Each structure stands twice: as C-alpha cells, then as structure tokens.
Chain A
Amino acid sequence: MNEQTTTLDATQKLHFYQKGTFTVGNRLVSDERRAVQASTDRSNALTCGHRACQGCGEALGARYAMDAAMRATGGNVIAVNATGCLEVFTTPYPETSWQTPWLHSLFGNAAAVATGVAAAMRVKGRSEVRAIAQGGDGGTTDIGFGCLSGMFERNDDVLYICYDNEGYMNTGVQRSSATPPGARTATTPAMGPEPGNVFGTGKSVPKIAVAHGIPYVATATVADLHDLERKVMRAMGIHGARYLQIHVPCPLGWGSASHDTIRLARLAVECGLFPLFEAEHGVVTSSQKIRRRVPVDDYLKPQRRFAHLFSTEEGRERIGRLQGLADRNIAEYHLLEAEGDA
C-alpha cells in the first residue's frame, strides 16, 4: 500500500493532480500533501461553541492559521489577541474556545504584548515557544498600527496575523483604513456626492510591512487553504518579525450570504482586488496566480455593501475604478503570469 502511494505521488509530478489539488484533503495523496485541516488530529486551536456569526470568515481563518502554527511548532504557541470580534466571540466569560494559551489585552497593543511574550520565552530559555499576535484590520491597520510598526522595526520574534474583514465589524460595521473604496459602512453611508467609502483613501499594511524590511510578509485568504497553511508554516520557520494578512469575508458586515464566505474570498483573489503575495526582507518574492480571472463585478455583486454601485451610472463608473485597482494589482504582482516550475 505504501509503495503504491509512493508511486502515485511520483506520478503526480508528471501529471499534476486533478481531483483534490485544491481541496482540503484527498484520499489519494500522502498526509504531508494534505492540509492540516484534513487531519483528525489537527489542534482545533479554536474549537466548537464559539459565538461567531454563521459563516464567519474570521473564525475560519483563525483556526486555519493557528492550527497550522500549532503543527509547525509542535504545539508550542502562545497567542495574543487584540480586542475585536475574534476576541469577543471566542472568550465570553465563562467559556473560551481557545485551546492554546491565549491572552487578550487591548485593542491596539497585540503586537507589543506578543513582543513581551516572546521576550519572556527567550529569557526563560524557552525560545521554542512562539508568540503569535492576531487582530482584525481595525486593531492592526488603525489603532494597533503603532505597536505593529514598533514590533516590525525591532524585528521581534512575533508572527502578527491580521484577519482582514475590511472594517470594524465588532462595533457594527464602521469604516477602517482597510475598507475598500466604494464600500458602504455605518460611517461611510451610501449617500451624498460620493456614496460609500471614499476613493483614494486607505492603506496597504502588507506593503508597509514589506517596507519595514522584515523577514517575511504574506497575504493569504480563507479561500486557498493550502496556500494559507504553507505561508503560516513558512512564517513559523523564520525567526524575527513576520506579518500575515488573511482576507476573511464577513457576512454581517459585507451583507453577503453566510454560505458565500469562501466563495467571496476566492472571488476577491480571482478578480485581483486581494493579491496574494509573499515578500522577504523588503522584496516581493512570489505571488499566487489567478486561476480563473473574473471581473470585479462578480465579486462585488453578492455583497450588499456594494449594491448602491450597481444602481446608478456614477456607481458603474466607480465599479470601473475598482476594476482599475484590480488591474493595477494584477500588473504590479504579476498575477496572471504563467506558473513557474515550482
């Protein structure tokens, strides 16, 4: 049986896999080629009974990332959490959904707290225990940005994971600096001369992270588990400051169907609005190619936060500008190039 498996794996090098290449697992591939999530002994770092909304992308992304980190470190992970949805829905007294050691301090200090954890582990001679900070986009790109940048420039041994759902969802869907242009939020209503979030605002924290020259920066999505896990594994194999931004759709905040969470994450990548890339020491080293390119309309349409764009001529123009952003990403990160030999 083992021999046969080996043969089959060898075959895959000649003819890449059809069924199961992108699925979580597959009976025909060896365990190493299956996602951590395929395993019955995955950590379930974030376990059942949490109070996330139905179809929560963040709950999914957090389990994906933490389980991969647990696998990569043999379970030696301490997680620090910024205030936000993830914190609130996982740890309402008297229940916690976390199975790893976990600490919530404040909204804007997760990176610094994780620095402290890493320092403590080093001083205790337990450097094998790794610190991971996690937060939403509000806690990362806005209020936690100072601490994040500080952790980066000191090159502290922390992996910071931003679960990017493009707004302040915990407080009722307000705009953050990660909210995309055109999106309606409670603080960027679909009213007035420029309805929704204003074009030309916002920032790319992954790019800013790259500018810090830290050892590793990557973006990932809940729609591509293998890619996500690979990046977490890679990150955990490196010491120093690392940043991973995971795109996690929010059915509540985006006005999308709960079952569309992964589909939307996928469409965000495939239309080019959320480029998947990796960078090391300040240089972008790879990007995940778009497999089936779609126009941004396909991604925007299932989300009520963009519904106003589809009803007017001006809105159509703005969709065009969003397409422009997608096109720019595609060009900048070479998202359509033929795949290399890797």
Chain B
Amino acid sequence: MLKQIEGSRAMAEAIGLCRPEVICAYPITPQTHIVEGLGEMARTGEIKNCEFINVESEFAALSVAIGASAAGARAYTATASQGLLYMAEAVYNASGLGLPIVMTLGNRAIGAPINIWNDHSDAMAVCDSGWMQLFAETNQEAADLHIQAFRLAEELSMPVMVCVDGFILTHAVEQVDIPEQADVDAYLPSYEPVQVLDPKDPISIGAMVGPDAFTEVRYLQHYKQTLALRLIPEYAADFKSRFGRDSGGLLRSYRADDAELIVVAMGSVNGTIKDTIDEMRADGLSVGLVTLVSFRPFPTEALREKLVRARNVVVIEKSLAVGMGGPLANNVDLALRNVAGAPQVHSVIAGLGGRPITRTSLHRVLRRALVQPWEGSHFLDLNEEIVAKELHYVRKVRRSGPTAENLLRRLGQAADEAAVKTAV
C-alpha cells in the first residue's frame, strides 16, 4: 500500500511485516522513531507474538537480541552513532556467534564533538565486525532492505545492519509502498536456526577458541560473506519479481555505462548526485554513478566491472578515517587493484556531521574532477579560512583551547563581521 509516511514509520511497518519475535529498544537520535513505531505496533497487537523490551543501553539492546536469537527467536534492534560504539563489543559478538540479528543503523556522526546529524562514521567504525552492511538510498529501499535483510541473515546465520541516513531518511516524509503481509510471508520463510539453545537438544554456544581453530572460524565467517555476494542479488531479484521494485542488490549504476567519470557513493546522497549528473549530462559531460548498496560484503568484482572502463572515479563518502582518508575510497581502490589501465580514484569527504551535500558543491567538485583531478582526499565545502585561522592560532598559543569551540567562535565572528558589512 502506497503511503506518504515518515521513513522511520515506514521501516517500522516493514520490520513489523517480518514478524520479529524479540525487539530491543533503546532511544538514540535519529533511529528512535523506528523503535517507537515498533513499540506502538507491538502494544496494539499489529505485530503479533512479539516481545518488545525497553533496555537500559545499546549494549543491553544487542545483548538481549543475542540471547533471543540464540534461543531461536527472530531478533531485531536499532541504534546509531555512539550507541553503536557502546554496543561495539556485542556487535562483534553477534557476528562471531553467527546470530542472524537484523539491526537498523540510523547513520549519524560520532563525537566528540558531539553531533547528532548524519554521516557514515558509525557504520564505518564497525564495518569489519562481521556484520553485513546494506545502505539504503531512499525510504522505500530502507523498508525493502529490512525484509531482504532478515532472509539474508537467517539463510547465512549472520547478522545484517541496514544503514539508513539519519534525519535525511529517518525523518523524511515521502511516499513508500508498504508491502502486504501475505507477500512478505511468502518472501521471508520463518526462522529456522542453524543452532539453538534448547533443553531438548542441548549444546554449548560461545566456546573459547584458541590459536588452533580461531583462523578457521574467522575464515568461515569471511566465506559466508562471500556467499552473500551471490545471495544478495538473488534475493533482490526475487524481491523485484514479487514486489515489482528494484531494491537492494550489491550495487546499481546510473548513466555509468559510457561515463568517463563515475561517481561512487552510498546512501541517500545518491539522489542528489543523480540530479547533478542529469544536469551535467545536459551540459554534455560524461558522468555516471555507481550506488553501492552492499558495503559488507564488499562487491569487489561487481564494482570492478562497473568502473573499469571509466577514466576517473570519484568516491563521495560521508566518512573519514582520520589519518588515512576516505575508507570507501580505499575500498573502491581495492576493486581496481592490479587492474591494468584502471581508472584513477579520487576521494571526496562530504557531509560530515550533517553538512548538506548540495548540487552546487557537487557540480563544482565533479567538474573539477573532469579537468583537474586531485590526489588525496578532497573535503567538500571545507571552510579553509577558518581552518587556517585556527591552525595559525594553535601554532601561536600553546594553551589554544578546544578546537570545536574555537571554530564555533570564529564562525560567529565571521557572521557578525558580515552583518556589520551589510549594515555599512
């Protein structure tokens, strides 16, 4: 049923259709509306046979999910940012134990400085934890990905994180087609665990594994994710055949087949990039887009195939590996490793801490990439003046104080000066 609906609510309804049995909720902006919605549906009976548990922390949220999943229940939770880091230990644990939990990550920056707005730092912080990570471009895809995520997780007995941009998607009201229960039931079989805690057939789960077997355990985890490279497109195709929509898959491309310059990005920014590309194409510029849905497993081969004919690749990402650069760019590089005549990869760090990524800025950086590609990371819309001032100040004054507050003060001064100028 097509609805004009808040993204969080749409996701909640989609998750509800997956018949989750245990939902663990802990509030953190911007994922909170999702679990609020689920809580309401559990209360009203819209979701039947479901334990909705208000826990005391994200660590507990995922821990409860771990227990529930190991005991054979379909378990779900959601988090963001600091919350994900607070549960980081359990994140690794869930995947290490091979528990098919699905978790929504309302992507948000990580402090300090504290910041509630969107970027992908949180997802990147745990991208190597063994969870599969799927990034939604729209709220329709966000809703659809959850349905696919449960199937994927349970087939492989591996947890899946559905990454949705905080506020931009979670708080946006737009139209989403919410599937029918019967269709979801037909698509998503009931959970048959590969291991379960049951007094009738007891096992011990979570043994201490030493050097003699740890490598094998890790290898098998890795191997499962390589299996997912086949399953993700398969489930997306099945989804399309049943629901008539392209949602999910490993990646999608947009006007990229003949493009000289291909942009690679994840999440909601792809929409703005598509509009920008259309405008650039209208200007005769050969630009295309590859939207990465699956960051883990990383679709190395599929990506290589899409990129290999381009001259330049610009990776636009909402994350920064401090001291290294863009982690997504780094991963994209991997797809082109050892490829003869591979395109040059250029990194753009954008949208950190919720800074809007505008068409204007995209035009500027992409047009530059066509004529004057750069090495290293380009920080989109970086206020270089303020940075320079701060660097100067820090060099001058030993006790220079907190950087974040310094920058805010400078921004304020700049605004005042502008106001004075205007007045003059």
Residues of A within 8 A of B (CB): 75-78, 80-81, 87-88, 90-94, 96, 98-106, 108-109, 112-124, 129, 131, 146-147, 149-150, 153-154, 156
Contact = CB atoms under 8 A, between A and B. Distances in A.
Interface residues of B, number: 44
In the A-B complex, the 10 residue pairs with the closest CB atoms:
A116-B67, A104-B206, A150-B56, A112-B63, A120-B71, A109-B63, A120-B73, A113-B67, A116-B68, A96-B204
Interface stretch (B194-202, B232-240, B384-392): B194-202
Nearest to B214: A93
Contact of B66 (A78, A102, A109): A109
B131 to A, nearest CB: 15
Contact of A112 (B55, B197, B207): B55
Interface string B4-43: 0000000000000000011010000000000000000000
B93 interface: yes
Interface string B183-219: 0000000000000011100111111111011000000
Given A92-B210, A112-B63, A146-B57, A117 B197 contact: yes
A104 B207 contact: yes
15 contacts: A92-B207, A101-B202, A103-B204, A105-B97, A109-B66, A112-B59, A113-B70, A116-B53, A116-B70, A117-B68, A120-B71, A123-B50, A129-B198, A146-B60, A150-B55
B374 to A, nearest CB: 44
B199 A123 contact: no
B72 A124 contact: yes
Given A102-B203, A116-B64, 20 more contacts: A75-B199, A78-B71, A78-B197, A92-B207, A93-B212, A93-B213, A99-B202, A102-B202, A104-B208, A112-B61, A113-B63, A116-B22, A116-B65, A116-B66, A116-B75, A117-B68, A119-B64, A147-B56, A147-B57, A154-B53
Nearest to A96: B204
Nearest to A130: B199
Nearest to B23: A119
A146 B207 contact: no
Contact of B51 (A106, A119, A146): A119
A147 B21 CA distance: 21
B130 to A, nearest CB: 14
Contacts of A77: 199
Contacts of B246: none
B199 A102 contact: no
B63 A154 contact: no
Contacts, number: 169
A114 B197 CA distance: 11
B208 A92 contact: yes
B269 interface: no
A117 B51 contact: no
Contacts of A90: 204
B196 to A, nearest CB: 8
Contacts of B71: 78, 116-117, 120-121, 124
B49 interface: yes
A101 B197 contact: yes
B207 A115 contact: no
Contacts of B93: 105-106
A101 B71 CA distance: 9
Contacts of A121: 71
A146 B64 CA distance: 13
B103 interface: no
A103 B57 contact: no
A100 B201 CA distance: 9
Nearest to A121: B71
A113 B67 CA distance: 4
B234 to A, nearest CB: 29
Contacts of A99: 202
Contact of B60 (A80, A93, A96, A147): A147
A123 B59 contact: no
A116 B213 contact: no
A146 B59 contact: yes
B6 to A, nearest CB: 27
Contact of A103 (B60, B73, B205): B205
B208 A91 contact: yes
Given A116-B68, A120-B21, A129 B199 contact: yes
A123 B67 CA distance: 13
A338 B24 CA distance: 48
Q: Which of B54, B55, B75 counts the most A-chain CB atoms under 10 A from its CB?
A: B55
B275 interface: no
A96 B63 CA distance: 22
Nearest to A108: B59
A120 B72 contact: yes
- Which of A92, A103, A112, A156: most chain B Cβ within 10 A? A112
Contact of B204 (A102, A115, A150): A102
B416 interface: no
Interface string B90-104: 100100010000000
Contact of B56 (A80, A106, A113, A149): A149
B69 interface: yes
B180 interface: no
Contacts of B65: 116
Nearest to B101: A116
B258 interface: no
A105 B94 CA distance: 8
Contacts of A115: 53, 55, 60, 63-64, 67
B417 interface: no
B89 interface: yes
Given A116-B68, A154-B54, A88 B73 contact: no
Nearest to A131: B67
Contacts of B21: 119-120, 123-124
Contact of B205 (A88, A104, A114, A153): A104
Q: Which of B75, B198, B204 has the most CB of A within 10 A?
A: B204
Contact of B207 (A76, A78, A96, A129): A96
Contacts of B212: 93
Nearest to A115: B64
A103 B67 contact: yes
A301 B209 CA distance: 39
Given A76-B199, A117-B70, A120-B21, A147 B63 contact: yes
A119 B22 contact: yes
A209 to B, nearest CB: 15
Choose among B72, B197, B205 the residue with the greatest number of A CB atoms under 10 Å from its CB. B197
B69 A116 contact: yes
Contact of A117 (B59, B67, B203): B67
A96 B197 CA distance: 15
A114 B75 CA distance: 14
